[in-house]
Chain A
């Protein structure tokens, strides 16, 4: 299926990806090729087939409601985790103003 440059721009916006003009050009062509390839599936009759979301017969997985060590001990302290932040202020992640 052919895909238009406008659709590529729309999808990039949904995916929160800034693309260069050259990338938009390239992805318009390449996505079209890939979508044409996978389109073969539409020829298959699947009206009565149950979709597979997961190969395991799992539904909800529960654990006992018991106290475990805090994640600060097992997965990293707030300071260690914040050390990976591109920008922080004290114990907080810092971003641009959200509300104008």
Chain B
């Protein structure tokens, strides 16, 4: 069996028991990246020598009899909006092209301690704004199942890397679906944890009331392993919640008997791709075969989620991105007359079209005279969206929906129409607005062999329930074991 066919859990176990060398594992992944990534373009940079050094350090620790950690020797790809000390962090933006991180994000620090090996930085839509990676200032990542198609976004590089088995695990960030949608479109698992479950310290902020960091993996067990390593309170992120982290691996086996699964009618709409609809319904039947029961529910404010999101996220972004002013870091425009022009030109030249569009929307929504009509209104409707879920979770334990209304679209298909692109997030946004955990797992393929994802939403801090449902599903289905051959 080749090294790159092993799960992360298997790698860690074999490295710890000295059955395999971490160095050999990392070498195998680096070789695979060298072969495949020129086609896929998942990575912005591969840390060849640093990754090998990290792997050797893990081997050295183990040979000395030291505890190498839960992820000993497991290679991980990192979305290029998380800080790794001494490495560039670009957000796939020209404005940060040369920025070098001076410290580790908390998740990176934790993963180092757990013995993980960082393979490289993965591509994203600039500043995580987009659903296809087409907004990257550097290149578009290809879907490993069909390289004419997008991998989803914004964490498309991380999703494509795991799907193509160029990494057993990857980190993504999810503001409106940026982990779950690319996971669905690439045929792997992606989990957005509850708001506050994982520290965002060292994640370059997009929309602070929505952003969460989470894992990509090919099995529920691996997703649980990575979540375990990164979850928990952090003094440096006051929005991270001081609540004990459960043992996710132990929860995988919890029985689904009596689990009440809600099917919101607003998410099974006419006009949805029929192949997606069928695969999702079949997947729900599999959960029923494990003793889960289903119940039709309603989330009446679903229709407003996209509007709420496209007011709140750009508003928060316009504020967060004001720090990129060409003074302390990032690109500075040349030949400017005064400080104002320095700001305006540096930002005008440094940001791409979608980022500028969102800064404009957000600035407009927050501007004097429009604040109440847009921003304040959206915050109120956000309350209604959250109340829908609070009510639903009194009757059901989990909510099941398609992750994306359609499989991966063609590169260029939606890039000229921002609203069409925004609509591809229609099923994933509500989860962020309500702060819930959400997981996408592979549940089949279209006839033309494009992956389809099932989305499961849970109560706050019930990631374990979602992972257990995914784990049971995997016992009878093999979608997650299929790998593309790009």
Contact = CB atoms under 8 A, between A and B. Distances in A.
Contact of A46 (B307, B341, B349, B377): B377
Interface in B47-82: none
Interface residues of A, number: 55
A67 interface: no
B351 interface: yes
A15 B192 CA distance: 31
Interface in B349-402: 349, 351, 353, 356-357, 359-361, 363-364, 367, 373-374, 376-384, 386
A39 to B, nearest CB: 8
B328 A93 contact: yes
A14 B310 contact: no
Interface string A24-58: 00010011011101111110101001111111101
A3 B374 CA distance: 14
B241 to A, nearest CB: 7
B45 interface: no
B102 A80 contact: yes
Contacts, number: 163
A89 to B, nearest CB: 13
A81 B378 CA distance: 38
B1 interface: no
A55 B386 contact: yes
- A interface, over-half SS: loop
Contacts of B345: 18
Interface string A52-66: 111110100101000
B318 interface: yes
A49 B239 contact: no
B214 to A, nearest CB: 16
A13 B308 CA distance: 25
Contact of B339 (A13, A34, A39, A96): A96
Given A50-B383, A53-B379, A98-B339, A38 B311 contact: yes
Contact of A34 (B241, B310, B329, B379): B310
A51 B418 contact: no
A6 to B, nearest CB: 13
Contacts of A81: 102, 328
Given A8-B360, A95-B327, A75 B367 contact: no
A76 B98 CA distance: 17
Interface of B: 85, 98-100, 102-103, 195-196, 209, 235, 238-239, 241, 303-304, 306-308, 310-311, 318, 322, 325-332, 336-345, 347-349, 351, 353, 356-357, 359-361, 363-364, 367, 373-374, 376-384, 386, 418-419, 422, 434-435
